[in-house]
Structure 1
Amino acid sequence: MVLRSCWKSRHKNSSGPAPCWTRPRLAALLWLCVTQFVCGSGAEGETNTVIQKDAEFDVTYNDTVTSENQTIYAFNHTVSRNKTEGVRVFVDVLSQGFESPILFVVRQKQAVVSFQVPLILRGLYQRKYPYSHVGRTLCQPPTRAASETQYFFVDVSTLSSLGTNYQLRVSRVESFTLQTDKKFSFTASPSQPQYFKYVFPDGVDTVIVKVNSEMTFPCSVMSIQDIQCPVYDLDNNVAFIGMYQTMTKKGAITVQRKDFPSNSFYVVVVVKTEDEACGGPLRFYPLRPDELIDAGNRSKFIDVIVTPAINSAVYVRGMLFCLGIFLSFYLLTLLMTCLENKRMKKREVFQIAPDMSPAETGKTPASPYEYGSFADNGSTLSSEAITDSATSTDNNYGYVGREPFKRRPILNHLHHIAIRIEQSLDSIGRSRQESLSSVEEDDYDTLDDINSDKNIVRTKKFLCVSDLSRKDKRILSKKYQIYFWNIATIAVFYALPVVQLVITYQTVVNVTGNQDICFYNFLCAHPLGALSAFNNILSNLGYVLLGLLFLLIVLKRDIVHNRALVRNDLNALECGIPKHFGLYYAMGTALMMEGLLSACYHVCPNYTNFQFDTSFMYMIAGLCMLKLYQKRHPDINASAYTAYACLAGVIFFSVLGVVFGKGNTVFWIIFSVIHILSTMLLSTQLYYMGRWRLDSGILRRIVYVIYTDCIRQCSGPMYIDRMVLLVMGNIVNWSLAAYGLIERPNDFASYLLAIAICNLLLYFAFYIIMKGLSTWQKTPAESREHNRDCILLSFFDDHDIWHFLSSIAMFGSFLVLLTMDDDLDTVQRDKILAF
């Protein structure tokens, strides 16, 4: 009975001629009757009138709705399979009835869209913003027929008994489909979002959707969604589906055909109700929880353009270019090695030619007296033995000619046998001693007290390398090899969780579609498989390849040096800077790990995992400084355990700075104090060559030194060069500490890296002079303003070029450290100054 009464009521109160009851309209009327039956007809004695109107496009309907009447606007339009047209509904409420808003329900094939006007959108802390002007685009359901007539209905109702005036207008969107490489402009606002359709053309598998605006604010969101109904186009639901990112002036998303079975997608642009997500100002908090805030004019003019992405040929060309650059270093190194080996063989043949005497070569036999008095076993060779050995047939010490054998053949032959026996016994003893696992530096004092005392040697006014290279070379070699094994262990245990974490990050990005998680250069981010920016990962290959090449170069030099030691070459034993390769191996490993961790960081670059990219930068800076210091102070350089413990402390503060450093005054005070104290303690360690004690009497000794040297005698420092370096270092470090305490930069990891690099460059410059005499403060949307197009081979951006250049620069710097003292290989160590 209720359904029959409802049917009569609809027919009786319909305006205009009797409608033609087609199947869609009958279904709509039945739906309303069922709704009235379920929800009731209002208070007793009231009649809820439903008015249905045949409506047309591009006609503005001015009407009033109350709780006693509802209005249905029936529309129909022809949908073509080969042509896509959008339908847009505009609604304006002319009276401010916030307590009883009007409900608009749009019913169409496969979708129902409902919204109230005034539209209440919520921002941060649940702030409420009302909008009286609403515009929504209706999705177009797919059709299989060449042409089909589709119906949709707009139902208008309210609970207000006073009546609310409104305007309704439905229009077609003629330019609903985006064209490739053709810019399209439109205006959007929080209550009037926009979206358009793009269809992949034949032969195009990947495109880049670029959205630009001249206006920084209001903040907006661009989204890529599959063709389905409904479309999520409001600030409170745009993140429910598809890929999305916030933007101010620029935004770009790479879209692949394989992710959209229909070969098409929607480009949705939504203006947010607030700007905090894009780094804008924070709005005031309302006085009452239910207070409505006037949002003002938040319209934004936007351009969108869809361009094809690179094809597979560009990928191949970019990979070949990257491999070609760094493999050329291998070829160049191999060529130089072959030329050097050829030159050395010619020299050896020239020196040991049987038909040439020392007089004919123009050279005199080398005398051990030219290289100092320290032999491999700590004893001094007699002049007679040296003279005999210089003319022996053994090629360890000099040149060989025929004349000595003619004059004293029997004596030379016996002496040759004696030397061979002595070398065999010495090699057997050495190999046995080196194989003992109990041989450690702390087991016994390797500096003989009979020669001189440590304190006396290290406090001389002018120190030479021979004064600071008196420990047994086997012990020092073991000490410095620990650097390599420790950093290899650290690398394994550090890299495994990093790889796991970035894989999780990338999975979250791919699953949720939230592209604000990672800070890519979206204008030049080329995906491959699950990776969103393969080019940024590929460009880190240089660190790995050049690090491996450096290890091979160090290995070759290590082998050559060991062979020289086996044949008791005096140049290797007593001349030049003592050669210990453990730190070089650690440096090469750190360079390779920098490439691996930088690649992991670029899987999903963001503020929280930037420490992965910088951790081994700290390692490299610290190892380079240690290697520089070790060159002239091999006996007193820091142990691997102490060095890595300090570097672990640096990384620990890096993590604390990321978590607590942003605007935290207490953290910056504590860090600055620790930084200054560490600088002073290290300065004291370097100045006194390790011969000082940190105990309860340190303050008394400091006061005594100041009194005797500065007040009583006004004498200058004993070690001028060391004092100059340390004063400069303290000035730089104190200035950096003051800058951090005053400015408190948000990017603490880069600030910490700047400290390490400044100290490395300072000490490197000091070494060269004495020898001759690195924004996370921005939101993802703001960072996209700095996105730039690819500048090399349409594949690499400027950051990739930085990867190329920095890996080559670091490799070159390592080679400088490796070879910078090769000119001293023939200078005895008591003539090489330590500084």
Structure 2
Amino acid sequence: MVLRNYWKSRHKSGRFPTLCWIRPGLAALFGFCVTQLVCGAGTVGEHAFVVQKDAEFDVTYNDTVTSENQTIYAFNHTISRNKTEGVRVTVDVLQQQLESPILFVIRQKQAVMSFQVPLILRGLYQRKYPYKHVGRTLCQPPTRAASETQYFFVDVSTLSSQGTNYQLRVSRVESFTLQTDKKFSFTASPSQPQFFKYVFPDGVDTVIVKVNSDVNFPCSVMSVQDIQCPVYDLDNNVAFIGMYQTMTKKGAITVQRKDFPSNSFYVVVVVKTEDEACGGPLRFYPLRPDTLIDAGNRTKDLNVVVSPAINSEKYVIGMLFCLGIFLSFYVLTLLVACVENKRMKRREVFENPPDMSPAETASLLGKNGDGKTPASPYEYGSFADNGSTLSSEAITDSATSTDNNYGYMERSLDSVARSRQESLSSVEEDDYDTLGDIDSDKNIVRTKKYLCVADLARKDKRVLSKKYQIYFWNIATIAVFYALPVIQLVITYQTVVNVTGNQDICYYNFLCAHPLGALSAFNNILSNLGYVMLGLLFLLIVLQRDVMNHRALVRNDLSALECGIPKHFGVYYAMGTALMMEGLLSACYHVCPNYTNFQFDTSFMYMIAGLCMLKLYQKRHPDINASAYTAYACLAAVIFFSVLGVVFGRGNTVFWIVFSVIHILATLLLSTQLYYMGRWRLDSGVLRRIVYVIYTDCIRQCSGPMYIDRMVLLVMGNIVNWSLAAYGLIVRPNDFASYLLAIGICNLLLYFAFYIIMKLRSGERIKCLPLVCILFTAVVWGFALYFFFQGLSTWQKTPAESREHNRDCILLSFFDDHDIWHFLSSIAMFGSFLVLLTMDDDLDTVQRDKIYVF
């Protein structure tokens, strides 16, 4: 009575007692404790009674609360240092009083938790969802004693003058502490989140927390938090601390002991109020912002497993495996070089006996062994005017006989050296064309029905060499200015992920993401080492060939001066540099792969495809190949469209129409350029000339195309490109970057196939080394594409949807399917480069005016 009168007097005077913590003995003596309501409950009524009850676990309490009374439930339980038990409070409100909800305040030893029922959770656009059934798990304050009895109190109050019935139940959580490699199943909802404790066992420094569900929706959030109070386990606060990620069916977080000083952590699972974060449908938007929306049934069955991650030994094995694979290519290349060097020395001894000088050898080879003069320039490996090929005997005599290969050498070494010195008088190429017009006009030469390489290799060698070296210097400059901001940006991304704990920023394969230091997925970065190492190896091979060719030119070797495909290595250097940069930028992309930095991984892929096509064309057209500035400008336009397509292309009809029109027009312009060997003009009279050609060649006399082989290639190329343009316009694929890359690869493969077919059709042959490279590269590309299309993650979807494709490691418990794609694609690209470098080695002793242009 004394305390009741004291409470009434204080209430009438407007003064309220502060929060009163009564010893258990005193509380038992008086039977109640006077408490000021917290967390916005407000004041109680004038005749409010405060009643404290000794409560027990696993008992359901059915009571009524009004503004005139509040109830305090006192619980006690024993906590053991060696055993952790969870405590869960479950509340049901039988009437829904939205204006005056019931407030529940739970006071523990080191924490206070409060919530109202109905619990109002907000979604997108501040939409409100009320929940009358609420379940919360209490955090577990640490204890130093071997056994300790702790007390906690549940205060129930409201400002409603009408009585509100509720049910309260406090129970112990079974299996609150998760066991290693043991699955635990549970159910969660937005108003009933769940969390569990995990303690690192001895000898385990890293674990993977995996949460799975059989259904996609409702959308959920899994979080890993340090052992502390309070635990952030609601949709509106789960992202405050720790690491977290959204999930539908799969979620996985790698946790390291060093990040948790207590050697333990909480695994928190929260079901979101809406599904938009996981790619679900957008629910209707209410007209009034304060409208309450029925949330419906959003319970979700899940299970959690905590498994040890790989140890440091696996890291060492993975790194040694990666290095071993690519170092073996260095060893293999060295062995092949040694064998080839011995073979070349034997052939030099055979062809040039010690008692005969090179000049004498050349003079003896002035005629064929049978006394016949050499074949005409258009008889070797070419087509007669009527379109028929030469007899196999003529081809064999011209292509396979070593003596015949030197049959054309009628000039002495002195005359060759003199003409070469004269050709070196000009070392710069100005606006004028260095083709000697007094010998032949370019319109006459380039429009002949049958061209040979000599017709398109008439420009000064040093001028062309400098022209093609610009490819290397330009791409080296591009690489430096491109890579520096990329590295800075991905470091920022990784820092943001580590500081905020938001693992939705980066699209990893979380089931096989092995951290090292600050990097979250070291294995995805390490597997890009092959691009760098094999790109460097290719540069060394090109350098060795460049040095040998330079020495041959210095000693006036007739084969280097007048035979084979003209040796220009600038584009090769650019290709090797692009391969190395692809590895570096792919590694940067995989530091934090996401929607905003995709171009890091694809830019140099476009470069590689474009350079390969340019090099393939340059082989037979060295005088008219595109300059470095034009080539890189076109590649920059491709990258620009790639960015636009990803940002604006998804479902945008206008963009796809514009892109398809540009694609088709570019194909037609390039086809015209290739068909007429650049001998056409894009000016105001181009339409008149097109109509005139159609009238004279197609309508008036209906004659066939003058350049049949080129026409076949260009017709096939236009069919392929028009089909790809129609596919993009109709289907509108989400991954525009891959679609654009597919266009480049299809054109490259088409041109490469045409080159091989025409090479064989012209009577040329493919030597053993390039043939092995072609077969090996084709097989490796097949396996590489298989692993590429596994699709372990995709930034085209939401992070939660991307994680549905995550899979475990499949190689050495360290590498996943995408890592194997990195291994195989780097090997395949290296093999493709070797094919381009060596495929015309059979022509090294064939005169250039006998090598057919196609």
Q: Taking structure 1 as the reference length, what is the TM-score of the superposition?
A: 0.88
Give how far 1:195 is off. Answer: 0.5
Letter in 1 for 2:681: R
Partner of 1:205: 205
Partner of 2:397: none
1:218 and 1:271 in contact (8 A); partners too = yes
Give how far 1:470 is off. Answer: 0.8
Give how far 1:783 is off. Answer: 1.1
- Of 489, 499, 514, which residue of structure 1 is paired with 2:477? 489
Letter in 2 for 1:215: V
Give how far 1:651 is off. Answer: 0.8
Letter in 2 for 1:770: M
Q: For residues 680-695 of structure 1, what are the structure 2 equivalents within 5 Å? A: 680-695=668-683
SS at match of 1:203: coil
Q: Does 1:22 align with 2:25?
A: yes
Partner of 1:711: 699
Give how far 1:709 is off. Answer: 1.2
Give, in whole Å, the separation in 2 of the partners of 1:255 and 1:563. Answer: 59
Give how far 1:320 is off. Answer: 0.3
Partner of 2:500: 512
Change (3 A) 1:40 1:265: closer
Q: Does 1:825 align with 2:844?
A: yes
Partner of 2:453: 465
Change (3 A) 1:453 1:554: same
Change (3 A) 1:36 1:631: closer
Give, in whole Å, the separation in 1 of the partners of 2:330 and 2:530. Answer: 12
Letter in 1 for 2:845: T
- Of 750, 755, 767, which residue of structure 2 is paired with 1:762? 750
Give, in whole Å, the separation in 2 of the partners of 1:268 and 1:27. Answer: 39
Q: Which sits farther off after the overlay, 686-695 or 347-356? A: 347-356
Partner of 1:450: 438
SS at match of 2:646: helix
Q: For residues 114-129 of structure 1, what are the structure 2 equivalents within 5 Å? A: 114-129=114-129
Change (3 A) 1:478 1:25: farther
2:536 and 2:576 in contact (8 A); partners too = yes
Q: For residues 232-381 of structure 1, what are the structure 2 equivalents within 5 Å? A: 232-354=232-354, 364-365=364-365
Partner of 1:388: none
1:7 and 1:33 in contact (8 A); partners too = no
Letter in 2 for 1:173: V
Change (3 A) 1:296 1:4: closer
SS at match of 1:452: coil
Partner of 2:581: 593
Contiguous gaps of at least 5 residues in structure 2: 11-21, 378-404, 762-784, 786-793
Deviations along 1:181-211, one digit per CA (max 9) or x if unpaired, are 1111111111111000000000000000111
2:211 and 2:304 in contact (8 A); partners too = yes
Letter in 1 for 2:830: F
Give how far 1:26 is off. Answer: 10
Change (3 A) 1:326 1:162: same
Q: Does 1:742 align with 2:730?
A: yes
2:41 and 2:158 in contact (8 A); partners too = no
2:37 and 2:43 in contact (8 A); partners too = no
Give how far 1:324 is off. Answer: 0.2
Deviations along 1:598-626, one digit per CA (max 9) or x if unpaired, are 00000001122111100000000000000
Letter in 2 for 1:472: D
Partner of 2:689: 701
Give, in whole Å, the separation in 1 of the partners of 2:375 and 2:587. Answer: 49
Letter in 2 for 1:816: V
Give how far 1:2 is off. Answer: 11
2:223 and 2:244 in contact (8 A); partners too = yes
Deviations along 1:751-781, one digit per CA (max 9) or x if unpaired, are 1111111111111111111112184332111
Deviations along 1:100-129, one digit per CA (max 9) or x if unpaired, are 211111111111111111111111111111
Partner of 1:162: 162
- Of 657, 668, 677, which residue of structure 1 is paired with 2:656? 668
Change (3 A) 1:324 1:31: farther
2:452 and 2:850 in contact (8 A); partners too = yes
Give how far 1:345 is off. Answer: 2.9
SS at match of 2:239: helix
SS at match of 1:552: helix
Q: Does 1:633 align with 2:621?
A: yes
Q: CA RMSD in A?
A: 2.9
Partner of 2:798: 779
Change (3 A) 1:820 1:35: closer
1:3 and 1:37 in contact (8 A); partners too = no
SS at match of 2:202: coil
Partner of 2:35: 32
1:608 and 1:658 in contact (8 A); partners too = no
Give, in whole Å, the separation in 1 of the partners of 2:461 and 2:296. Answer: 78
Of all paired residues, the percent bearing the same amino acid is: 85
Deviations along 1:272-314, one digit per CA (max 9) or x if unpaired, are 1111111111111123222211111111111110110000110
1:465 and 1:577 in contact (8 A); partners too = yes
Partner of 1:729: 717
Letter in 2 for 1:142: P
Give how far 1:664 is off. Answer: 1.9
- Of 776, 788, 791, which residue of structure 1 is paired with 2:807? 788
Change (3 A) 1:33 1:273: closer
SS at match of 1:32: coil
Give, in whole Å, the separation in 1 of the partners of 2:641 and 2:355. Answer: 68
Give, in whole Å, the separation in 1 of the partners of 2:249 and 2:598. Answer: 25
SS at match of 1:725: helix
Partner of 1:63: 63
Give how far 1:744 is off. Answer: 2.0
Q: Does 1:133 align with 2:136?
A: no
Partner of 1:411: none
1:247 and 1:278 in contact (8 A); partners too = yes
Letter in 2 for 1:697: G
Give how far 1:366 is off. Answer: 6.2
1:371 and 1:829 in contact (8 A); partners too = no
2:31 and 2:52 in contact (8 A); partners too = no
Letter in 2 for 1:792: L
